[in-house]
Copies of this chain bind each other. A is one copy, B any other.
Amino acid sequence: MKTDERIVQAMAELLRVQGYAATGVKQLTEAAGAPTGSIYHHFKGGKREIATAALRSTGAAYIQLLPLLLDPYDDLAEGVEAAFAQAAEDLENTGWANMCPVGTVTGEIADAEPALREVAAEVFASWVEEGTRYLTGRGLSPDDARAATYALLSALEGAFILARGQRSREPLLAAGHATAAYVATLRKPAPLTP
């Protein structure tokens, strides 16, 4: 793997675990196995530029999980609940460290780092677009699909925070169950027209 890719990946990992402000360049040099000189050679913009690259890269990678997780389930609601359960297991297996770097960073730097906030907004927007497309393909109306994507992402990001804080799967399981119940109401046939 090329050095610049190693740097971006290491940054993504660090952002996911400890956020932007707490991640130092020195720590990044160790995690990426590249000294300061290399880092600033590849990324003249320094820490901020690397973080934006990491957020974009994460954004592209995570959205691919959506069909991967939901396609196996004929019943969409069932798939949603299973996806949250999977996330809960992953979180616990990594010692409650794994989270979504985009969510972590957004909460932290929304005001102090406008450039990063904008990149996070872009990533969220791409997720919503992709999620809407996918759920429309699963039979939801475009409006319902978009709202459901927002609801699903919100529940997931929020449950990550609670689960991580409490070191418990319960928030993720409860949020998954709730989101599944909500999605199930959307798939019911429209009420008969009078």
Contact = CB atoms under 8 A, between A and B. Distances in A.
Given A154-B155, A166-B125, A185-B185, A106 B161 contact: yes
- Range, interface on chain A: 35 or more
Contacts of A111: 17-18, 97
Interface string A98-129: 01001110111111100001001100110000
Given A107-B104, A182-B178, A162 B166 contact: no
A19 B18 CA distance: 12
State the copy count for this chain.
Answer: 2
B177 A178 contact: no
Contacts of A103: 107, 158, 161
A120 B159 CA distance: 14
B178 A155 contact: yes
A22 B157 contact: no
Most buried by B among A99, A103, A107, A184: A107
A149 B178 CA distance: 10
Given A150-B159, A157-B158, 18 more contacts: A17-B111, A19-B21, A19-B108, A104-B107, A121-B167, A124-B165, A125-B166, A150-B175, A151-B175, A151-B179, A154-B155, A154-B158, A154-B175, A158-B159, A158-B161, A178-B178, A181-B182, A185-B185
